[in-house]
Amino acid sequence: MSQLEALIFDVDGTLSDTESDGHRVAFNKAFAAAGLDWDWSVELYGELLAITGGKERIRHFLNLHHPEMLQEPGIDERIVDLHKSKTRFYVELLESGAIPLRVGVERLLRQSRDAGLKLAIATTTTPENVTALLKANLGEESISWFEVIAAGDIVPAKKPAPDIYVYALEQMGLGPDRCLALEDSHNGVLSATAADLPVLITVNGYTQDDDFSGAITVLDQFGESDNPAKVLAGKEIEGEYVTPDVLKALHQSAQA
């Protein structure tokens, strides 16, 4: 039986609830700055989340709501420019301290390092968004806690394709049987399981009704001693919140 050696974390929705008050707000600021009257409501954004990747999401929105614009010359460059502007607004939001980590994330990262587990990130979002989130919440040195930060356009096919997880595994030189993916969404489970990784889920408002087939366990959050994690589906956990020992036990059970 393989030992657990590394944890591969998703970012958006898993480390932090970034979507509604972060990415969505930044998209709307970029639209307004470009003189566009598009306004992505909390509800509409929930539907657009079906497509991962900001540039891909803008294109998906146009396809649904302004298909004629996709025929305009220069539309590809326009999407790229809009997305760069969105990233600037998003990083500003992070730097202002507006986007905290989810309950239990900092503790779990610190305990996992102390327990000798390697840490990695596999996300669809833009690399500077990840480093800004880590810096704002855990300090600059936390970037070096991660063996690899696999993000954004580094692979051509975003989640639900397995590519970003496969890339992270290759960079670490580890097989999927020695790792555990931590995700929050249907697209995340599809991506991780297609890379043969066992997956643990913590849900959020946007993903609580997603299909998590294939995940070992679905929890509401990682939790803390004064704010316990609830198991919503799958294997039970030992204790009140997620620790490195809980993750090791779940990893073992996935191989049984």
Catalytic residue numbers, as ranges: 10, 12
Q: What is the token pair recorded at 220?
A: 């509401």
Torsion of CA 215, 248, 117, 23, to 10 degrees: 30
Which residues, 157 to 216, sit near ligand XBP by CB under 6 A? 159, 185, 187-188
Which of 10, 19, 163, 210 is in the footprint of Mg ion by CB under 5 A?
A: 10
Q: Which is nearer to ligand XBP, 126 or 202 (CB)?
A: 126
Beta carbon nearer to Mg ion, 129 or 185 = 185
Instruction: Check binding of 184 to Mg ion (CB under 5 A).
Output: yes
Beta-sheet strands, E only, within the chain: 6-9, 118-123, 146-151, 179-183, 199-202, 217-219, 231-234
Q: What letter represents residue 21's amino acid?
A: D
Residue 159: name its binding partner from Mg ion, ligand XBP, none (Cβ under 5 to 8 Å by kind): ligand XBP
Contacting Mg ion (CB under 5 A), which of 7, 8, 9, 12? 12
Q: Which two tokens stand for residue 36?
A: 């566009």
CB count within 10 Å of CB 231 equals 12
Binder among 4, 8, 13, 122 for Mg ion (CB under 5 A): 13
With contacts defined by CB under 6 A, name the span among 51-59, 62-70, 100-108, 170-178 that binds ligand XBP.
51-59
Residue 167 DSSP SS3: helix
Query: Does the protein bind Mg ion through residue 163 (CB under 5 A)?
Result: no
Q: Does 210 bind Mg ion (CB under 5 A)?
A: no
> Could you give the CA distance from residue 216 to residue 223 in angstroms, rounded to a whole number?
17
Figure out which of the listed residues 7, 12, 17, 150 binds ligand XBP, where binding follows CB under 6 A.
12
In the sheet with 6-9, reading across from the earlier edge strand, the strands are 146-151, 118-123, 6-9, 179-183, 199-202, 217-219, 231-234
Interface positions with ligand XBP (CB under 6 A): 10-13, 19, 23, 52-54, 57, 86, 123-126, 129, 159, 185, 187-188
